[in-house]
Amino acid sequence: MAKKDYDQLAKDVVTHVGGKENIVDVTNCMTRLRFVLKDDTAANESALKQLKQVKGIMNQGGQYQVIIGTEVSDITPAVREYIGAENVTATAGQTEAKAGSLFDRFFKVISGCISPMLGVMVGSGMIKGVLAILVTFGLLTNTSGTYLALYAAADAVLYFMPILVGFSAGRVFKSNQYIGAIVGAAIMYPSIITAVAEGTPLTFLRLPMQLVNYSQSLLPAIVAVWAASHVEKFFKNTLPQILQLMFVPALTLAIIVPLTLLIIGPIMNLVSSTLSTTVLGIFNMSPIIGGILFGAFWQLMVLLGLHAAFIPVLINNLITLGSDPINAILGLTVWALAGVSLGYALKVKDKEQKSLGFGNLASCLCGVTEPTIYSIVIPNFKIFSAAWIGGGVAGGILAALGGKMYSFGGDGLFRIPAMINPAGLDISFYGFIACAALALAVSAAIAYFLVPAGEAIPEKQ
């Protein structure tokens, strides 16, 4: 799509979500423009759906989501430029006052802190997967300079997670992003990390600090920056303007960093561990049933926007425990929808619809399911059951095998490297490939019989 097309689409989307004055903020994930609107009812959903590039609309988690596809990262800058940075800044303070349940607002905050990093996290996970393959087959050693340089590129996003999260959280909480980044950096400062590793007791003004390694942590930085935003606001409202440049950051950091090391960090570290242990404990009570349910209905939850509640938990599992069996199963649901696209393409007679089916198959294999959901499944909802069955069968089997995901990765073919155990190829890798093929085959076969030969997808008017 040419830049002029991005600009026109940006103008059209902004107009139909209620205009510039109705937009509090806009970000994007892998495929969606995510608006925070003053008034959701001011958006013209039917007009948005008429736009050729818009694949669907969701209004969940305190965000009005316009589904674009993989070009969304190119369109977002055009939207932000059109609405004007000053417009966003001037109204940004209203974000926290946005109507919505506490549940919606909580996950909106978590999503806002994580979403900007997802592309980098997925890319880093792919590098780790490729390195694991090269080491397993003896093409590279884990002590070589080549390996260490590439592993540093892959592992940095996780190791320095508190810094990145702190910077993102600063934007979400409308505070100084560099204060947020410094808070994240301070709690994993080398001297402190060394003291933790050596078990050296530390105190602050004679108060004992709990020894915790905060590298690769998520929640401590988010909560610390939230607290910092309120401290920063207090000093901005208290100190004379002439003193704010130096003294607001100095006083904020002097209060929040010790407070995080003494109280916030240990509490949130306990919350993170408890959350992951509880979720996996429930899953491990019956992995097969859990695998069937997640494998069958995850994409339905995505369609309904209910998946937002699980994403922070899944990311926390991987960061806290180093692997995650639930996320391994969720990767199979993409292959199930790929099977739906294949079965549809093989059955329909119309050349244009057949081409659409094969195109959606390619999209799913690259990890993007929205085209299949909105161009095949929604107009022919009974076909969704094919993905439920294929994903459920494959999910139950992978759960029974004990498959786990070991790093962040994309979906479709790009999920495979994330299934590689750093210790070497095992059932997680081989089992995932076999179950992915099974999910695709079962879903394709069922979709083939569910789709009438003359089925055609309604065109946008």
Q: What are phi and psi of 26, to 5 degrees?
A: -145, 130
Q: What is the per-residue pLDDT across 116-155, written as a single tens digit (0 to 9) for each? A: 787 788 788 888 888 888 888 888 998 999 999 999 998 8
Q: Could you read off the pLDDT of 185-243 as tens digits, one per residue?
A: 999 999 999 998 888 899 999 999 988 888 888 889 999 999 999 999 999 999 999 99
Please report which confidence band the pLDDT of residue 89 belongs to, taking 50, 70 and 90 as the band edges. Answer: very low
pLDDT at residue 441 greater than cutoff 60? yes
Residue 176 binned pLDDT confidence (cut-offs 50, 70, 90): very high
Tokens 């329909």 map to which residue? Answer: 348
For residue 57, pLDDT over 80 is answered with yes
Predicted pLDDT at 99: 47
Q: What does the CA dihedral 314, 315, 318, 324 come to, rounded to 10 degrees? A: 20
Dist CA 308 CA 304 (whole Å): 10
> Which residues lie below 8 Å from residue 217, measured CB to CB, with a gap of 6+?
161, 162, 268, 269, 272, 319, 320
Residue type, 248: V
Pick the CATH number of 3-100 from 3.30.1360.60, 3.40.50.10310, 3.40.470.10, 3.40.50.300: 3.30.1360.60
Residue-wise pLDDT for 259-302, tens only, equals 999 999 999 988 888 877 887 888 888 999 999 999 998 888 87
CA distances from 211 to 159, 187, 193 (A): 17, 11, 9
pLDDT of 454 > 60? The answer is no
CA distance 383 to 451: 7
Vertex 377 angle, CA 374 and 382, to 5°: 155
179 near 252, Cβ under 8 Å? Answer: yes
Phi first, then psi, for residue 32 (nearest 5°) are: -130, 140
Please give, one letter per residue, the 3-state secondary structure of the chain.
Answer: CCHHHHHHHHHHHHHHCCCHHHEEEEEECCCEEEEEECCHHHCCHHHHHHCCCCCEEEEECCEEEEECCCCHHHHHHHHHHHHCHHHHHHHHCCCCCCCCCHHHHHHHHHHHHHHHHHHHHHHHHHHHHHHHHHHHCCCCCCCCHHHHHHHHHHHHHHHCHHHHHHHHHHHHCCCCHHHHHHHHHHCCCHHHHHHHHHCCCEEECCEEECCCCCCCCCHHHHHHHHHHHHHHHHHHHHCCHHHHHHHHHHHHHHHHHHHHHHHHHHHHHHHHHHHHHHHHHHHHHCHHHHHHHHHHHHHHHHHHCHHHHCHHHHHHHHHHHCCEHHHHHHHHHHHHHHHHHHHHHHHCCCHHHHHHHHHHHHHHHCCCCHHHHHHHHCCCHHHHHHHHHHHHHHHHHHHHHCCCECCCCCCHHHHHHHHCCCCCCCHHHHHHHHHHHHHHHHHHHHHHHHCCCCCCCCCCC
* pTM (2 d.p.): 0.69
Picking from 2, 172, 9, the residue whose alpha carbon sits closest to that of residue 78 is: 9
Considering only residues 106 and 251, tell me which one the structure prediction assigns the higher pLDDT: 251
State the amino acid at position 437 in one-letter form.
A
Q: How big is the CA angle at 348 (ends 344 and 351), to the nearest 5 degrees?
A: 115
User: Count of residues for the chain?
Assistant: 461
Across the chain, what does the average pLDDT equal? 85
- Cα 364–Cα 300–Cα 340 angle in degrees, nearest 5: 40
**Which residue in the block uniquely carries the two structure tokens 């929604």?**
378
pLDDT at 6 over 60: yes
Strand partners, 207: 204
- Residue 459 is predicted with a pLDDT of 46
Residue 350 has what pLDDT? 83
Beta-carbon count within 10 A of 198 CB: 8
Query: What is the distance, to the nearest Å, from the Cα of residue 45 to the centroid of all Cα atoms in its chain?
Result: 25
Question: Which one, of 284, 321, 323, lies nearest residue 428 by Cα?
Answer: 323
**Residue ranges covered by each domain of the chain:** 3-100, 160-274, 286-450
Instruction: State the pairing for strand pair 23-28/56-60.
Output: unpaired
Tally Cβ neighbours within 10 Å of residue 174.
Answer: 17
